Structure 1
Amino acid sequence: MQLGTYATLELETRGAALIVTINRPEALNALAAAVVEDLGSLTRKLAALGRDGEWPVRGVIITGAGEKSFVAGADIVEMNSMNAQAATDYGRAMHRVTQGLEALPIPVIAAVNGFALGGGCELALACDWIYASANARFGQPEVNLGLVPGFGGAVRLPRRVSPGIARELILTGRQVKADEALRIGLVNRVLEDKAALLDAAVATIEEIATKAPTAVANAKAAMEAMVGLSTAEALEVESDSFRAAFLTEDSVEGREAFVSKRAAVFPGR
């Protein structure tokens, strides 16, 4: 798997999962421009690897180095030296990263250990779902700096939690602990520590790896395409998605295996 090496990221393949660790513990893994550039390059390479449907991994897990922080946020020290145009370009570069993660035809799980604030929360929100360690803390504290979310938080947070809760968190800058994040639907599961967090995320990817690759890709793309549509429009997307899935070799194999009462061996086509 040719994904290259990165100054700010560590890559590890564990079973069917690619674990991507943001590695700036001295800065609480803050999203400096170099991190954004590395994440963008990696996301583009992953997308290119999957064009022929032959994926070397079946899911991506994003986490942060150490126990203290997933991603503490944007790099405010670096941002403070930018002019308005440079800061806008910085935000747009991160938009390309988050949209790239959403477009991947494999699941992306945020394994949040410690702080996920500002840009860190926004990175997690761009993943398909979030698992958190017991010490995780989430928030959009930009108003404390006279700013607003710039990496997609104002768009994605109201889709993950209720609009009212999203407005409260963004307008107050309040942080929430893991148990509250679970209660409001921001995270799917809370695990004891980072080791348990990664084990759970890997186990989920391993479970998904037993399913039809084309069906997983099709379902993810369809759900993303349905965002913001009316019920009638979304049902049309679902119908198109169902037809496309039905025509795949994976679907033929899955249906024949079910009728024959045997385990399916999906070709990924």
Structure 2
Amino acid sequence: MVEFSKNNGVGFLTLNRPPANSYNRDFIEAFGRGIDQAANDPEVRVVVVRSALERFFSGGADVKAFAENPPDVNMAMVRRAHEVFNSLAQIPKIFIAEIAGHALGGGLEIALACDLRFAAQGEYRLGLPEVTLGLLPGTGGTQRLPRLIGWGKALELMISGQTLTPEEAHRLGFVERLYPDRDTLAQETLRFAEALARGAGLAIAHIKRAVYEGLDRPLEDALRLERELVEALFYSEDGREGVQAFLEKRPPNFKGR
């Protein structure tokens, strides 16, 4: 259901549960194992989350399973999904969602849990339509979407169940990059990921931590965290190498320490 692979410093988590990558507890557990593999592999510095299916990134939670299960079983899956999705923010590697098909409900929530979202133009939709089932986006959507695009527009989308085209999602800002087709998306996402993997991994990890932790703190506390993290970089081998390489007008050789 979720395959981990790697190449040239980039890890790939490929979702593959036909017909729509709809997820149940087993899928969530498989996704969690894939995340752990990527997180614990020292050769992997950037991770791309993508789909093996042509029409779907992920259609979200398996509604048929929701209907068949009692509420306590459904809630056990929701709690586990929270643990798995939340782990992405704690891992000092960049996760990129590569979207070229429908990303709906929990499927979009997977993408929202990633650090960045790159998409291809196409005839598919993105959104959080759980309200049409009498539910709410329960695996992070009510919290992550407002943090990306502001609470007013996010609230409007969630209470209406409206879905968006990739172009609309890009204009609103929860898709960071939009490419003309699936092939270009894959090529450019790989190009971006490989460049990050060759870059200042320690600085990237510190930037990610500063952003995620800082957003939940008062400004002065967040600025204190920023000072602590940049001080650590001044003392790091990468920090010294980056400054020296600039002075010597040569490419830096970052080692992640």
d(CA) in 2 for partners of 1:158, 1:37: 27
Counterpart of 1:197 in structure 2 is 185
Larger deviation, residues 36-45 vs 162-171: 36-45
Q: Is the 8 A contact 2:50 2:57 kept in 1?
A: yes
Picking from 21, 37, 57, the partner of 2:14 is: 21
What is aligned with 1:70? 57
Secondary structure in 1 matching 2:69: coil
Residue in 2 that maps onto 1:100: 87
- Indicate yes or no: 2:224 matched with 1:224: no
SS of aligned partner of 2:68 = coil
CA positional deviation for 1:245: 1.4
Matched, 1:32 2:20: no
Query: How far apart are the structure 2 equivalents of 1:172 and 1:164?
Result: 12
Q: Equivalences for 1:44-63 in 2 at 5 Å?
A: 44-49=36-41, 55-63=42-50
Superposition deviation, residue 98 in structure 1 = 1.0
Quick check: 1:237 aligned with 2:237?
A: no
Mapped pair 1:150 → 2:142: no
Matched, 1:257 2:245: yes
Question: 1:25 deviation in Å?
Answer: 2.4
Q: What does residue 174 of structure 1 align with?
A: 162
1:12, CA displacement in angstroms?
3.3
Matched, 1:248 2:240: no
Aligned partners of 2:108, 2:179: CA distance in 1, in Å?
A: 18
Q: TM-score, normalised by structure 1?
A: 0.91
Contact 1:111 1:201 in 2 (8 A): yes
Q: Give the RMSD, CA atoms, in angstroms.
A: 1.4
Deviation at residue 228 of structure 1 after TM alignment: 2.5
Gaps of 5+ in 1: 1-7, 50-54
Letter in 1 for 2:3: E
Quote the Cα distance in structure 1 between the aligned partners of 2:54 and 2:119. 11
State the partner residue of 2:173: 185
Residue number in structure 2 paired with 1:79: 66
Deviation track 1:89-140 (CA, whole Å, cap 9, x = no partner) reads: 1111111111111112111000111110000110100111111111241111
Whether 2:104 is the aligned partner of 1:117: answer yes
Task: Tell me the CA shift for residue 66 of structure 1.
Answer: 2.1
CA distance in structure 2 between the aligned counterparts of 1:34 and 1:200, rounded to whole angstroms: 31
2:119–2:178: 8 Å Cα contact kept in structure 1?
yes
In structure 2, what is the Cα distance between the partners aligned to 1:25 and 1:15?
28
> Percent of counterpart pairs with the same letter?
35
Task: Show structure 2 runs of 5+ residues with no match.
Answer: none
